[in-house]
Chains A and B, each alone.
Chain A
């Protein structure tokens, strides 16, 4: 059974701080990893993807991948109240690209 584990939170950080979100996955053969943001009642919105070991930065977001440890993380620098949402970790679960999602970590950024 291919699975993604995430701490459900809530994770609460003050405005301007760094938020750190973590995820582990079960399928050692997975190559592609994605972070989606989901506001309450809305659809998942892609914010980062990473395929190679190491760090990938995009604006305030940094994704980190460690395939040996089957671990992927997302750092949000200078957190804003508008970043308050549930963050979904996903990996590619099949040859046709279907995504396996975690339950998500709820982030709350306090002004």
Chain B
């Protein structure tokens, strides 16, 4: 069964450093999402991406964040200058359509900012 994959599984970085989190969505899916979950809190939407552009973003997704689909398979989330409060699990998700379609989540990347 096809699944969303994410790398790395765990990333430790120092405050102020740039990190890139990588995702490979399910191959026939067209809509891609990033979510984050701070330890003990709820899953929060960051950004949605379709047709090589951002379609929607939350207040969390400020100028420090960017997304890119550099080739036909990868989907990346970049945090330019990490802060302590960026420490969280970051989940990539994909779906075949936009609204009313099921989203399938990857295993996540645990980001620890020290």
Interface residues of A (CB under 8 A from B): 31-32, 34, 36, 42-46, 49, 51, 88, 90, 92-104
B103 touches A99 (CB 8 A): yes
The answer to whether A101 and B42 touch (CB under 8 A), given A46-B104, A92-B100, is: yes
Q: Do residues B99 and A42 form an inter-chain contact, with CB atoms below 8 A?
A: no
A102, B99: Cβ atoms closer than 8 Å: no
CB contact between A96 and one of B31, B89, B107 (< 8 Å): that residue: B31
Quick check: which of B11-19, B44-52, B63-71, B73-81 contacts chain A, the rest being far away? B44-52
User: How distant is the Cα of A101 from the Cα of B46 in the complex, in angstroms?
Assistant: 12
For the complex of A and B, the 7 pairs showing the least CB-CB separation, nearest first, are A101-B43, A96-B55, A96-B56, A98-B45, A97-B98, A43-B105, A96-B48
**How far is it, in angstroms, between the C-alpha of A95 and the C-alpha of B42 when the chains are bound?**
21
Are A95 and B99 in contact, with the CB atoms below 8 A? yes
12 CB contacts below 8 A, A to B, read A32-B99, A43-B89, A43-B108, A92-B99, A94-B48, A94-B56, A96-B48, A97-B48, A97-B95, A97-B98, A98-B45, A101-B43
* Centre residue among B42, B91, B104 by max chain A CB count within 10 A: B42
CB–CB A98/B56 < 8 A: yes
Size of the chain B interface, CB-CB below 8 angstroms: 28
**Out of B31, B97, B100, B105, which one reaches A44, CB within 8 Å?**
B105
Whether A98 contacts B33 in the complex (CB less than 8 A), given A43-B91, A92-B99, comes out as yes
Smallest distance from the beta carbon of A39 to chain B beta carbons, Å? 11
User: CB-defined interface of B16-47 with A at 8 Å, one 1/0 digit per residue?
Assistant: 00000000000000010101000001111100
CB of B41 to closest CB in A, whole Å: 7
**Contact: B95 with A104, CB < 8 Å?**
no
